[in-house]
Structure 1
Amino acid sequence: MLSLKLPRLFSIEQMPQVFHEQGILFGYRHPQSSATACVLSLFQMTNETLNIWTHLLPFWFFMWRFVSTLRVTDILNDSYSWPLLVYMGASCVYPLASSCAHTFSSMSKNARHICYFLDYGAVNLFSLGSAIAYSAYVFPDTLVCTTFHDYYVALAVLNTVVSTGLSCYSRFLEIRKPGLCKILRVLAFAYPYTWDSLPIFSRLFLFPGESAQNEATMYHQKHMAMTLLASFFYSAHLPERLAPGRFDYIGHSHQLFHVCVILATHMQMEAILLDKSLRKEWLLANCKPLLFPQIAGAILLCLIFSLSNIIYFSAALYRIPEPELHKKET
């Protein structure tokens, strides 16, 4: 009978410090795992297994929804649906990138950083996709066709570039200045989200215009609540910080963060779909639609500059001396 030998797991004391996770004591994979061993770890209970599956399974769900929408959309002629398609495509990219990053991050120290650089780039692409959809369907009546609306997507592009660079840079401070690293990384994702959400905040709390008050409002509120909960788990490292070793495999904060992020995306998608449908007549009569060059240009600029950031910081990994990047200062 054929038998499959799963890779050996390690404790935190056996791992280089760059691989350490706060409150996680056991279940680490070999720090120089092969690609095959990384793939096999999907079917072995490690401290990364649920991090992978909590984004890999939703990727297929979001892909199914994306393909289903494509099938019923006249892509060439229905320009009103283009922002939705961009958003739904981006909602497939970030869970796939995240699951791949968690899968292959144990191949080496530098591979770990590069995997998460790509993950950060995918998250920021999703942020831009959200901004494009918000600009097309979610803006409150009072802010439609204002200067803020005109420059909203352009500044969202700039935010994604800065956010990718800041989040990548934060990894160079992970060992030497962990507190500053965490602050910069949280800031890198918090401020693009805040900018993207300004139309939602305005619509819910400042300008509840008639056409904007619909069934989507409840989903926007749920999306905001789940995003705040995800931010809490990401920042607080609870519950594993209170009981190190108890939540190594199931229930630690990064798994809970992943679940909350996916639920937030689901709520956001439902809200955008409802707004697109329910506000279509009003928006087409009162709002200038985003043109294809605007959408394509925004996505292209995001990809070019974010990838440039990733390439620059990946190259820097090999320029910086090993002790400076991976060892704690004495």
Structure 2
Amino acid sequence: MEKKVEGLDCKFVEGLYILKPSILLLNEVDSSDAIPRWPWLVFLGGAMVCLICSSISHLLACHSQRFNYFFWRLDYVGISIMIVCSFFAPIYYAFSCHPYSRILYLSTISLLGILVIITLLAPALSTPRFRSYRAFIFLAMGFSGVIPAGHAVALHWGDPQILISLGYEIAMGLFYAIGAAFYVKRVPERWKPGAFDIAGHSHQIFHVFVIAGALAHSAATLVVMDWRQGSPAC
């Protein structure tokens, strides 16, 4: 039970860190010339759904084997939703003047996310045997943003804020990749079983890198929003 409560505390702290820049952003909105904020709120909503699913999973997965399989699948679904929602704000703002590209990229990631969620809900794929596969599809879905990112940089090469945002997104990808590596390799508990059951095991380290990646993405999105706010109309 102590371990479960600790996990819930971790999710609460993660939620506060993601929510803080959103509160600051909404307080600074000038309604006279504000750009649409709903893409940012989509990301925020996806992050909250992810943390809620993870909290519920950590709390109830130990109830029984049946609950274990169901709630860990729910946890993976929450991660998938967060990844998909993370695409909306940067793509929407970067391609505000290119509606066809915007629709193409947002439709593609949404469809990919739906397919991934359907795959994750399959009971057979939730077993430990497919642990590496689950990590792979998360990374594949996340790194599918390379194409729209490259397109955005090509379109706005002369804008330094776009390059700054790209740097944050690269940092996000690195954080997620490192976290996934800890998750798959089960480091450090594989080296000393039982020593990290309460604190310091790979799942906790994974969550640290997830929140770091989410914060990097938040920074990237805020930079793009500021750039779009100051850019001339299409």
- 1:184 alignment counterpart: 133
Contact kept, 8 Å, 1:66 with 1:89, in 2: the verdict is: no
**Percent identical residues:** 22
Structure 2 CA distance for partners of 1:148 and 1:217, relative to 1, 3 Å: closer
Deviations 1:157-198 (A, max 9, x none): 1111111111222x42555xx43x124312331222122343
Check 1:148–1:278 CA distance in 2 against 1; reply closer, same or farther (3 A cut): closer
Paired position in structure 2 for 1:196? 145
Letter in 2 for 1:133: A
Matched, 1:59 2:8: no
Partner letter of residue 126 of structure 1?
A: M
Q: Distance in 2 between matches of 1:85 and 1:274?
A: 15
TM-score by length of 2: 0.84
From 104, 112, 125, the equivalent of 1:159 is 112
Task: Report deviation, 1:202.
Answer: 5.0
The structure that has the greater radius of gyration is 1
Higher relative contact order (CA 8 A, sep 6+): 1
Alignment correspondent of 1:120: 76
- The structure with the greater share of residues assigned to helix is 2
Match of 1:105 among 55, 61, 73: 61
Q: Hey, what's the Cα distance between the residues in 1 that align with 2:41 and 2:91?
A: 14
Residue equivalent to 2:218: 269
How big is each residue's C-alpha offset from its partner over 1:32-63, in whole Å with a ceiling of 9 and x where there is no partner?
A: xxxxxxxxx2xx2x3x4544332221113323
Q: Is the 8 A contact 1:83 1:132 kept in 2?
A: yes
Unaligned 5+ runs, structure 1:
1-40, 287-330
Q: Distance in 2 between matches of 1:51 and 1:259?
A: 12
Task: Determine which of 176, 190, 199 is the counterpart of 1:241.
Answer: 190
Whether 1:172 and 2:128 are equivalent positions in the alignment is: no
Distance 1:190 1:221, change over 3 A: closer
Residue equivalent to 2:175:
226
Aligned to 1:285: 233
| Equivalent position amino acid for 1:237 in 2 | R
For residue 156 of structure 1, give the secondary structure of its aligned residue in structure 2.
Answer: helix
Q: Is 1:209 the counterpart of 2:157 in the alignment?
A: yes
* CA distance 1:66–1:184, shift in 2 (3 Å): same
Question: Tell me, what secondary structure is at the counterpart of 2:195?
Answer: coil
1:134 is aligned with what amino acid? P
User: Aligned runs of 1:70-149 on 2, under 5 Å?
Assistant: 70-73=26-29, 78=34, 80-138=36-94, 145=98, 148-149=101-102
- For residue 116 of structure 1, what is the amino acid of its counterpart? W
Match of 1:285, SS state, is: coil
1:117, distance to aligned residue in structure 2 (A): 2.9
The number of residues matched between the two structures is 233
Moved over 6 A (4+): none
Gaps of 5+ in 2: none
Per the normalisation by structure 1, the TM-score is 0.62
- The letter for the 2-side match of 1:269 is S
